[in-house]
Structure formats: structure tokens, C-alpha cells
């Protein structure tokens, strides 16, 4: 079953992307080609196989609960196109 | 000078036959001169940074710091404090990081000098370097051909000897494939060997920093300096620190090299096939025992990878929303529009395509059928490698099924993705891999891939080093850049 135009639009919405009609059409063709390629996985019997989410099969390590770094507020805020001295600025969300 | 090894350059500097500024000026001049043809570099520094020079002069007093004063370029996804880091994307066109990636700071500590940032496929997504927002990179061996990707700028820069060393990253082959197509040597270490802190993330369970240089020995020296445990990266291995030393043995006696016969038999390009067979025969002549092995699930690797990598990409790239850093659209009526317009204007077509695929693979109804299944196949592939490494020390394999292809030859994404068929399996398993030049076919380089056990970079570097003691391919360079 191929990925249809409606699904492409829903996915673009989820991914917060705006696609023109031409782009949506091109992405649709590309995604169906990719789907055909990844459907090769169907031939594999994976019954009883544990998924391998990470090559190290590691568990997340925890560090001690201590302050180890200084505040970089000013340096980080300066990277934003719209910020004042203390905040990132975005269009009004609540009236 | 441009054919000297790191050890030879280090000796000249210590013997005061050459100063650090004199050495670096050779490479700064070459970088500026050859970038017009290759577009390998995005931002070339005007001159040596005074702070880096001071650090290099101090490092030169320490005999153990072989890299003191050696110039390099960083792939433009390593954050460099105060120096634009674009990741090949309009999204980060004006991003000036307030900190250095751990790889960058580790190499600065050794006294290396930053010449430039290297061009790359946008967010490291591509195998041809045609997906950079700042123009494609041309292969120095033939400017009408691609250098490979995504670390195509790094590979082209070393191939044209614009620098002796370049950092790079590999997610599904992004060090090995451009290394092969440009005729240089490059190593992708084991996952967890090199800190990912300050590396712009594409697929977090696959991304790994590495290095490209002329020889295996040069790669080993730089990798030793780059690696080590980093508390800032929770996926950094506690035993990541490692030191490369030149092997004392002068042959490969006692080394068992596995060969996946199906992979070599399946090569359609006769030049690549014969080069690979000949290189393996050279290893045999050097004393290695060649053993046929099988990786029965490896043919599923590309399919699994193109579920896992886009899924991780769609998650990682969700951080680019136009608020905290990166491109911000001027058309921002409300918060939703700010997000959508900033992302749609900032990302290129290939990045959008992969975000869409990842969003689809993770969406309701498809997670089990695709994402979970891909992770199970990943386990099968890793187990295949584990079985093979019970019999052999190193695997020898092709890197790319073909030599460098023409620009715009592979317009269809899937045909480009299939070119990673030999590099992706080891990436999924997190294994160390290396690519080295073994031959030239119609004037274009061919590479051989060496894959090692997890955390056994030494064996693959040793085999490559021994090969380079009896061959000259690593010394070959494009005529126009001599």
C-alpha cells in the first residue's frame, strides 16, 4: 500500500513543514520509492529478536546532583534572532 | 612538503628546520588557491589564530604532542567557538557557537591549527556532497565528479593537499565513501570512542566523529588525540581513551582477514572488483590468512538504516524551530507559523525528505512494522558480525560499488542510498571501520574497507599501515594539485 497525498499532508503537518503542491508531489514519489526499498525488511524473520536501539546497549548513566557549569544565559540568548536580555521572544500565544 | 607524514612534519618543527607559521602558510595558500575549483571549504581563516599559535608553540615543547603546529580543517558540523558552523545548511548560515566541540578542543589542546571549515551535505545527509546549501564540492581527481558525502569537503581538501588532516563524521558511510572516492585514508572509530558533544546531531545512535588523512599512521595519531571519555556526552564510552603506536611487526603473519565473497562477486564494476581482489591478495602476500565468511542479514542493512536514521533525524531536527538559534522566518503571524516557516525556509529538499520519512516511520500504525522491525534487523546484523569475528581479526570489503560518479548523475534518491550498501552494516553495529586507497581505475581512486571488532581500531589501522608500507596508492594525488 503506497503513501497517499493525504498522508503526505498529515506528515508535513506533524513535521512542521510547509510543502508546495510540487514539493508534496515530489516528496510523495520519493517516499514511495523509499518505502519500496525498506519493504525488503518483510523477508526477515525477527521472531524473538530483541530490538537493538543502540550499538553500545548501554543504560543512561546518571551524574551526581551537583552544579558543574556556570550560567551561559547571555551567550545563549545572543544566538537568537529575537531575544531581550532575559527571554526568547515569540509571537503572542495567550491574549 | 605536502607529501610529508605527520611524524615527518613534527620532526622538522622540533628540529627548527621549519616554523609553525611557515608550515601553516603553505597550507593556507593551497586552501585559498584550490578552493575556487573544489569548493571543499566554506570558511577559510585569514591567518593562524594567535591563541592557537600560542597553544601550538607551547605544545611543541612537549615531545609527546606530535600534532603541535599541524594544520587541519574541521567538517562544518563540529562546533567551533566564535567561528560560523553551518552544517551545510541555510538553517545555520549565521550560527556562531559559543563553545567548541570536544573533538575541536581536544585537537586544540594538542596544538593543531584550524585552517578552515569543510563543506558537507546538509546536516550530513547525502553521499555526493551535492546537498550542501553552499554549493556542491568537486572531486579533485575529476572536477565533473562528486567527492562522495557527506564529508566530501573534508575528503576533497585532503586529496588536493589543501590540508594534511581533516575531521569528519560517519553515520552510514560518510567518512569511508568520500575517503574512497577521493583516494585518501579515513577512519570511523567504534561508536562511543569519540565524543559527540558539539557535533550537530543527525542520527544519534549512529553518528561518530573520525578523521581523514594521507596515511593510516596519520589517522591513528589524530584519532588518539581526538578520542577519550567525555562526561558531556552520555554515550561516550568510559574506556574511550586510546593510543595508537606504530606496530613493531613488519608483516601480517598471524592476522586472519575475513572476506565476504558475495559482496565481491556482486560487484558490477569490473575495475572496482579487480582492485579489491588484488588488494586482498596483497594482504595475503604480506602473511595474512584470508578466510571466506558470510554476513547473511547484511543485505537488509540499507533498508533498516533508512528507517532508523530518518527516525532519529526527524527527532533531532525538531529542535530547529526558529526560536533559540538558527534561521527565523520574517513571516511569523503566530507561533505555529514561526515554526513552520522557519523550518520550511531553512531546510533543503533532502533534509525535508528524510524528516518526512522519519516522521512516517515513527507515526502511529507504522512504528512496529518499520521502526521496531528495523531495530530487530539491526540486532541480527550485529550478531552476524559477532559470529564472523569469532573466526577472523579484520574484515576486508569494498567501500563503494563504483568509483566517483558524475555530478547530478544520481538524481533518484534511492539509487544514491543503495551506494551505501557496504558501509551501512558496520555502522548499524557500531564497529570501527577504515577506508584506504588501493588502486586507480580510469584515473579515479578505489578504496578498500577494513572493519574491526568493537573497540579494536588497532587491528584495522595495523593492516592498513602494513598495506601502505608495500604500496604507493596513498601517495598518489591529482596532477593539477601537485
pLDDT tens, N- to C-terminus, chain B (482 residues)? 899 999 999 999 999 999 999 999 999 999 999 999 999 999 999 999 999 999 999 999 999 999 999 999 999 999 999 999 999 999 999 999 999 999 999 999 999 999 999 999 999 999 999 999 999 999 999 999 999 999 999 999 999 999 999 999 999 999 999 999 999 999 999 999 999 999 999 999 999 999 999 999 999 999 999 999 999 999 999 999 999 999 988 899 999 999 999 999 999 999 999 999 999 999 999 999 999 999 999 999 999 999 999 999 999 999 999 999 999 999 888 999 999 999 999 999 999 999 999 999 999 888 888 999 999 999 999 999 999 999 999 999 999 999 999 999 987 778 889 889 999 999 999 999 999 999 999 999 999 999 999 999 999 999 999 999 999 999 999 999 98
Burial B199-234 (b: 16+ CB within 10 A, else e): bbbbbebbbbbbbbbbbbbbbbbbbbbbbbebeebe
| Cβ contacts of A44 on chain B, cutoff 8 Å | 297, 300, 373, 376-377, 380
Nearest to B340 among A18, A26, A63 (CB): A18
DSSP classification of residue B91: G
Which domains occur in chain B, in start order?
6-253+391-481 (3.90.1300.10)
pLDDT reading at A58 higher than 80: no
Can you give the pLDDT at residue B221? 98
In A, minimum Cα distance to B432 occurs at A55
Can you give the pLDDT at residue B249? 86
Q: Which chain A residues in 2-41 lie under 8 Å from chain B, judged by CB atoms?
A: 3, 7-8, 11-12, 14-19, 23, 26-27, 30-31, 33-34, 36-41
Looking at the complex, report in whole angstroms how far the Cα of residue B430 sits from the nearest Cα belonging to chain A. Answer: 5
> Quick one: CA torsion of B245, B251, B253, B257, rounded to 10 degrees?
80
Can you give the pLDDT at residue B164? 98
B450 near A70, Cβ under 8 Å? no
User: Coil, helix or strand for B181?
Assistant: helix
Work out whether the CA dihedral B1, B5, B6, B9 comes out positive or negative.
negative
User: With an 8 Å Cβ cutoff, are A39 and B303 in contact?
Assistant: yes
Counting beta carbons within 10 angstroms of the beta carbon of residue B104, is it exposed (0 to 12), middle (13 to 18) or buried (19 or more)? buried
In A, minimum Cα distance to B316 occurs at A15
Can you give the pLDDT at residue B121? 98
Looking at the complex, report in whole angstroms how far the Cα of residue B428 sits from the nearest Cα belonging to chain A. Answer: 7
Average pLDDT of chain A, as a whole number: 90
Can you give the pLDDT at residue B414? 86
Looking at the complex, report in whole angstroms how far the Cα of residue A39 sits from the nearest Cα belonging to chain B. Answer: 7
**β pairing state of B185-188 and B433-441:** antiparallel
Which domains occur in chain A, in start order?
5-43 (1.10.20)
Can you give the pLDDT at residue B423? 98
Task: Return the residue matching grid coordinates 569494498.
Answer: B398
Q: Is A80 in the B-facing interface, judged by CB distances under 8 Å?
A: yes
Can you give the pLDDT at residue B364? 82
Counting beta carbons within 10 angstroms of the beta carbon of residue A37, is it exposed (0 to 12), middle (13 to 18) or buried (19 or more)? middle
Nearest to A52 among B332, B378, B417 (CB): B378
Burial B322-352 (b: 16+ CB within 10 A, else e): bbebbbbbeebeeeeebbbbbbbbbbbebbb
| Cβ contacts of A63 on chain B, cutoff 8 Å | 231
Contacts of residue B18, defined as CB under 8 A and 6 or more positions apart, other chains included, come to B9, B12
| Cβ contacts of B412 on chain A, cutoff 8 Å | 33
User: With an 8 Å Cβ cutoff, are A18 and B341 in contact?
Assistant: yes
Can you give the pLDDT at residue B416? 87
B interface test, pick of A7, A28, A41, A77 with most B CB neighbours within 10 Å: A41
User: With an 8 Å Cβ cutoff, are A17 and B343 in contact?
Assistant: yes
A interface test, pick of B303, B337, B351 with most A CB neighbours within 10 Å: B303
Can you give the pLDDT at residue B54? 97
| Cβ contacts of B454 on chain A, cutoff 8 Å | 55
User: Residues of B with catalytic annotation?
Assistant: 75, 150, 174
Can you give the pLDDT at residue B474? 97
A interface test, pick of B317, B326, B357, B455 with most A CB neighbours within 10 Å: B357
Amino acid at each position: 500500500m503506497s503513501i497517499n497525498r493525504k498522508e503526505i499532508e498529515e506528515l508535513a503537518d506533524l513535521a512542521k513543514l510547509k510543502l508546495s503542491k510540487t514539493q508534496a508531489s515530489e516528496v510523495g514519489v520519493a517516499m514511495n520509492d523509499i518505502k519500496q526499498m525498506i519493504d525488503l525488511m518483510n523477508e526477515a524473520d525477527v521472531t524473538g529478536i530483541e530490538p537493538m536501539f543502540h550499538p553500545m546497549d548501554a543504560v543512561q548513566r546518571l551524574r551526581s546532583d551537583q552544579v558543574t557549569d556556570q550560567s551561559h544565559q547571555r551567550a545563549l540568548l545572543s544566538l537568537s534572532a529575537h531575544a531581550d536580555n532575559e527571554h526568547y521572544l515569540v509571537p503572542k500565544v495567550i491574549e | 612538503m605536502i607529501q610529508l607524514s605527520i611524524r615527518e612534519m613534527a620532526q622538522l618543527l622540533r628540529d627548527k628546520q621549519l616554523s609553525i607559521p611557515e608550515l601553516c602558510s603553505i597550507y593556507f595558500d593551497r586552501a585559498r588557491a584550490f578552493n575556487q575549483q573544489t569548493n571543499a571549504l566554506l570558511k577559510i581563516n585569514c591567518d593562524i589564530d594567535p591563541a592557537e599559535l600560542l597553544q601550538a608553540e607551547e605544545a611543541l615543547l612537549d615531545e609527546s604532542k606530535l600534532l603541535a603546529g599541524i594544520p587541519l580543517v574541521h567538517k562544518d558540523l563540529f562546533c567551533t567557538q566564535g567561528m560560523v558552523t553551518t552544517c551545510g545548511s541555510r538553517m545555520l548560515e549565521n550560527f556562531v557557537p559559543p563553545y567548541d566541540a570536544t573533538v575541536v578542543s581536544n585537537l586544540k589542546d594538542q596544538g593543531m591549527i584550524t585552517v578552515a571549515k569543510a563543506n558537507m551535505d546538509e546536516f550530513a545527509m547525502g553521499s555526493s556532497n551535492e546537498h550542501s546549501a553552499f554549493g556542491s564540492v568537486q572531486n579533485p581527481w575529476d572536477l565533473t565528479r562528486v567527492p562522495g558525502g557527506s564529508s566530501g569537503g573534508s575528503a576533497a581538501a585532503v586529496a588536493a593537499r589543501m590540508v594534511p588532516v581533516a575531521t569528519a563524521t560517519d553515520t552510514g558511510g560518510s567518512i569511508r565513501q568520500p575517503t574512497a572516492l577521493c583516494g585518501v585514508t579515513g577512519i570511523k572509530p567504534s561508536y562511543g570512542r569519540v565524543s559527540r558533544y558539539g557535533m550537530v546531531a543527525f542520527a544519534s545512535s549512529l553518528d561518530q566523529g573520525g578523521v581523514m588523512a594521507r596515511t593510516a599512521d596519520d589517522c591513528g595519531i589524530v584519532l588518539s588525540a581526538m578520542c577519550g571519555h567525555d562526561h558531556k556526552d552520555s554515550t561516550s564510552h568510559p574506556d574511550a581513551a586510546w593510543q595508537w603506536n606504530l606496530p613493531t611487526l613488519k608483516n601480517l603473519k598471524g592476522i586472519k582477514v575475513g572476506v565476504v565473497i558475495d559482496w565481491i562477486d556482486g560487484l558490477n564494476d569490473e575495475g572496482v572488483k579487480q582492485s579489491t581482489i588484488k588488494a586482498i591478495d596483497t594482504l595475503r602476500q604480506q602473511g595474512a590468512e584470508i578466510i571466506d565468511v558470510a554476513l547473511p542479514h547484511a543485505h537488509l542493512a540499507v533498508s533498516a538504516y533508512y528507517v532508523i536514521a530518518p527516525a532519529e533525524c526527524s527527532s533531532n531536527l525538531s529542535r530547529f524551530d526558529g526560536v533559540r538559534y538558527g534561521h527565523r522566518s520574517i513571516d511569523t503571524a503566530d507561533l505555529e507559523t514561526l515554526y513552520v516557516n522557519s523550518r520550511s525556509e531553512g531546510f533543503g529538499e533532502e533534509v525535508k525528505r528524510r524528516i518526512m520519512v522519519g516522521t512516517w516511520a515513527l507515526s502511529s500504525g507504522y512504528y512496529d512494522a518499520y521502526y521496531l522491525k528495523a531495530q530487530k534487523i539491526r540486532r541480527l546484523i550485529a550478531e552476524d558480525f559477532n559470529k564472523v569475528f569469532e573466526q577472523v581479526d579484520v574484515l576486508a570489503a569494498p567501500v563503494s560499488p563504483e568509483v566517483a560518479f558524475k555530478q547530478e548523475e544520481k538524481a533518484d534518491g534511492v539509487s544514491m542510498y543503495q551506494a551505501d550498501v557496504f558501509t551501512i552494516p558496520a555502522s548499524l553495529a557500531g564497529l570501527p571501520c577504515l577506508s584506504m586507497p588501493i588502486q586507480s581505475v580510469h584515473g579515479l581512486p578505489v578504496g578498500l574497507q577494513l572493519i574491526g571488532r568493537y573497540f579494536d581500531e588497532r587491528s584495522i589501522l595495523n593492516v592498513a599501515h602494513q598495506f601502505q608500507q608495500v604500496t604507493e596508492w596513498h601517495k598518489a594525488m591529482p596532477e593539477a594539485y601537485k
